[in-house]
Structure 1
Amino acid sequence: MKIGFAGLGAIGTPMADRCAAREGLAVWNRTATKAEAFATDHPGVSVARTPREVAAGMDAVITCLPTSGDVAALLEGSDGLLAGLAAGSILVDCTSGDPATSREIAARLAEVGVAFVDAPVSGGPPLAAKGALTIMCGGSAEDVARAEEVVAPFAGKVVHLGPVGAGHAMKAVNNALLAVHILALGEGMVTLAKAGIDPRAAIDVLNASSGRSLASEVLIPERVLTGLYPQLFRLALLEKDIGIAEALARELGVAAPVLASVREEYRGLRASLGEQADYLDPIRAAEAAAGVLLRG
């Protein structure tokens, strides 16, 4: 199976790395130097100069971009994906996108005989590098079965959730819950530190109790208590995902006051911390506001 890969960002790069052993892999990135560096590190991988080139002659194309709008824009023009995708091929979109735009993209591709599966991922760069991501799929059973073969190099678990858009709905709600956990844990940990409780001891208790989460089990110990705060996932993208989840709830007539409140909080954080802030920087801001450091 020949695959084109578009989008060599923080998670796209290790995903593409897992695909590099496949014969005929082509990569494209908006910043061409990233694609060139990737190809240099992976003999046999070719660099596509345009989205059209990354799709030409391929059985499947994987997109991993910041937004569904970016994917839709990539289709357009004489050098766009649509100009290169052949009838019978499949586009597997691993972007953390929105269901409505995914359905529009799928309908557009169906007109030219190209299948579409929304397949956002969870697990971050570390699990991508291990080939252990969870893939949340939306599409027909036949198309998802094809997509499963496409994503196999970086997938640990593939779940078919429903029609096109279901994968992106699932990912948006998942990330919204992550955002809730990060905010609540940051506030709670700062409160405990101000109360004189050692942050490491507090985390040990939380992780043996009912308040534990990925944020407490992995993110705080590895990235906050160490003081490392690596820049791995932009807060702006998490805020985008919360917005997708909130909009979905509103569209379906579901009251979601917690999501609405968290969305407003993240909007404010995005404005104050900037577009390049990491998604854990709200905890750093809480430390600064309280005058404590969560280290242990």
Structure 2
Amino acid sequence: MAKVAFLGLGVMGFPMAGHLAAKGHQVTVWNRSPAKAAAWVEKHGHSAAPTAREAAAGAEFVMACVGNDDDLRQVCLGPDGAFAGMAKGAIFVDHTTVSAGVTREMAAVAAGLGHGYVDAPVSGGQAGAENGVLSIMCGGADSDYAKAEPVLAAYARICRRLGEVGAGQLAKMMNQICIAGLMQGLSEALAFGQKAGLDCAAVVEVISQGAAGSWQMQNRHKTMLADQFDFGFAVDWMRKDLKICLETADQIGAQLPVTALIDQFYKDVQLMGGGRNDTSSLIRRLK
């Protein structure tokens, strides 16, 4: 069992830190709003710290799950940042979806201070975090990943090292590119079926067992048909992720024409007031 700090207790981080506690690890949490950290301690026990630095002090592993590149820098750097509190040899594990550029930047700073670094973005959504069945895509040195993997198992269905630092974030970009295309296809199919007068739930029961089946179809078709979107992974966050994908594609010379188009469709949903709705609200454009 390890001494672990967990930084960031949003819809993903709160249950992920809880799984670490349930598995017997010694957990100290930190959150930008102290009330959330206090609520976590009330539910799970263990302890909370007033700064990321104090949470990281003495921890063997420091996990972070925050919002974006700037949030990650703020959590890592400065006199109250996690790096200032970590002991040499401790490993920083970043679950945030950020750019590969900031990942490599933070990893270089960590290495200069004698810390290990693993970028480990996750997929599986809030339900995956709550049920401890996330897919975790990792980048980092073999030795750092080997140490972190048994701890990550607390909330992983599958966890794999895919290359050096930054590889996890690049893999997460692939994940988001796939989801964007799948969600648009599902939205078009359901809107088409409704216009055609079909029982779409019955149709999905059939086609989900064939080549068209996907996680999105299985887990989102009912709420999409019911026009319910006040849950899940927000459109605002998807646009943040797709921006990272499109900028990275420009940097490496890749083409993402469909992803660029769907990003604009999500912009339409934002303009309709749906920025905090689940990504499945893409169907609202078609109704």
TM bin, normalised by shorter chain, reads over 0.9
Report what 1:238 is aligned to: 238
- Give the drift of 1:67: 1.4
Change (3 A) 1:227 1:257: closer
* SS across alignment from 2:138: strand
Report what 1:102 is aligned to: 103
Q: 1:24 pairs with 23, 26, 32, which one?
A: 26
CA offsets 1:14-39 (integer angstroms, 9 cap, x no match):
11110113343100111110100110
Report what 2:58 is aligned to: 57
Residue segments in structure 2 that go unaligned for 5+ positions in a row? none
CA offsets 1:211-261 (integer angstroms, 9 cap, x no match):
22211122213x334554341211111111112222222211122211222
CA offsets 1:49-77 (integer angstroms, 9 cap, x no match):
11111111111100011113211121232
1:192-231 alignment runs, 5 A limit: 192-221=193-222, 223-225=223-225, 227-231=227-231
Report what 1:282 is aligned to: 282
Task: Give the alignment's TM-score, normalised by structure 2.
Answer: 0.93
Output the CA distance in 2 between the equivalents of 1:83 and 1:167: 24
- Give the drift of 1:13: 1.1
Query: Is contact 2:265–2:282 with CA below 8 Å preserved after alignment?
Result: no
Residue segments in structure 1 that go unaligned for 5+ positions in a row? 291-296
Residue identity matched to 1:205:
V
Change (3 A) 1:23 1:146: closer
* SS across alignment from 1:39: helix
- Give the drift of 1:130: 2.7
Residue identity matched to 1:67:
N
Query: Is contact 1:176–1:238 with CA below 8 Å preserved after alignment?
Result: no
- Give the drift of 1:266: 2.1
Corresponding position: 1:37 with 2:39: yes
Aligned CA-pair RMSD: 1.7
Output the CA distance in 1 between the equivalents of 2:134 and 2:114: 29
In terms of mean alpha carbon deviation, does 115-124 or 126-135 score higher?
126-135
Report what 1:265 is aligned to: 265
CA offsets 1:161-206 (integer angstroms, 9 cap, x no match):
1111111111122112112211221122111111111111221232
* SS across alignment from 1:162: coil
Query: Is contact 1:51–1:81 with CA below 8 Å preserved after alignment?
Result: yes
1:60-71 alignment runs, 5 A limit: 60-71=61-72
Query: Is contact 2:180–2:259 with CA below 8 Å preserved after alignment?
Result: no
| Same amino acid, percent of matched pairs | 36
Residue identity matched to 1:211:
A
In terms of mean alpha carbon deviation, does 122-131 or 267-276 score higher?
267-276
- Give the drift of 1:5: 0.3
- Give the drift of 1:111: 0.7
Query: Is contact 1:189–1:202 with CA below 8 Å preserved after alignment?
Result: no
* SS across alignment from 1:105: helix
* SS across alignment from 1:8: coil
Query: Is contact 2:224–2:281 with CA below 8 Å preserved after alignment?
Result: no
- Give the drift of 1:99: 0.8
